[in-house]
Structure 1
Amino acid sequence: MTTVQPVISTPDLGRLQAFYARLFNAVQVRRFPADGPPFFVGLMLGDSEVGLVSQPDTDLSTPPRILLSVDVEDVDALLDEVVAAGGRVLGPPNDMPWGQRVAHVHDPDGNLINLTQVI
């Protein structure tokens, strides 16, 4: 069996964890080390796990090369929360010919997230 887990490097683990918790109700399921400031946290977003790793020297000026695609119940309703949680909305949502409503946003570190909703 093969498992793939995306892991996001960040200079501010707490800020990014708060963003994903607020926007997607992400729940921390793993943490290393158990005591003291965390180096790694595993977050459950629905049935998927995303890791966040603390790397103070992460260069946020480098464009991200990975897109996280997150299926949500209501793309439009979530867009105001993106800004309130510290992210950025890149444009209005669009209805795609394959039956999804899609909006592109950045998390607080500038990582691209594709919000999708089945229509």
Structure 2
Amino acid sequence: MPTVQPIITTPNLDRQRAFYERLLGAVQTSRFPADGPIFFVGLRLGDSELGLVNETEVDLSAPPRILLSVEVDDVNALLEQVEAAGGRVLGPPAHMPWGQRVAHIHDPDGNMVNLTQALPQ
């Protein structure tokens, strides 16, 4: 059975890792290489995995083509923490017709992240 693992390239791996750890409780599960400058870090977020690759030449001015959607318990509570964690809130959350409350944010590199919360039925 296929598994998908999103991997973000970043010129500042430590900043990105700190953002996902602080805001979403990500836990580092792997690192390569084990010693010396880090190239790759694997993070666990709930039952999902996210990879970060240290790529100093990545062009952050290019528009991102991937959107991470992260289901959380309380969108409003997390929005209050986004800027302190190094991200940016793009606007207030909204109720979507498919039964979610959604807020759009940027991580420290400007990647789009949707924080989603299931609405009571």
Shorter-chain TM range is: over 0.9
Residue 33 in structure 1 maps to residue 33 in structure 2: yes
SS of the equivalent of 2:76 reads helix
Q: C-alpha deviations, 1:55-101, integer Å up to 9, x for none?
A: 00110000100000000000011112110011000000001111100
Instruction: Give the match for residue 43 of structure 1.
Output: 43
**Identity level (%):** 71
Read off the aligned partner of 1:54 and give its amino acid letter: N
Work out the CA distance in 2 between the residues paired with 1:109 and 1:57: 13
Work out the CA distance in 2 between the residues paired with 1:56 and 1:97: 40
Task: Give ranges in structure 2 of 5+ residues lacking alignment.
Answer: none
Scaled by the length of structure 2, what TM-score is found? 0.97
Instruction: Give the match for residue 62 of structure 1.
Output: 62
Q: How many residues align?
A: 119
Read off the aligned partner of 1:114 and give its amino acid letter: N
Poorly superposed stretches of 4+, deviation over 2 Å = none
Task: Give ranges in structure 1 of 5+ residues lacking alignment.
Answer: none
Scaled by the length of structure 1, what TM-score is found? 0.98
Read off the aligned partner of 1:79 and give its amino acid letter: L
Instruction: Give the match for residue 84 of structure 2.
Output: 84
Work out the CA distance in 2 between the residues paired with 1:102 and 1:89: 12
Work out the CA distance in 1 between the residues paired with 2:104 and 2:68: 10
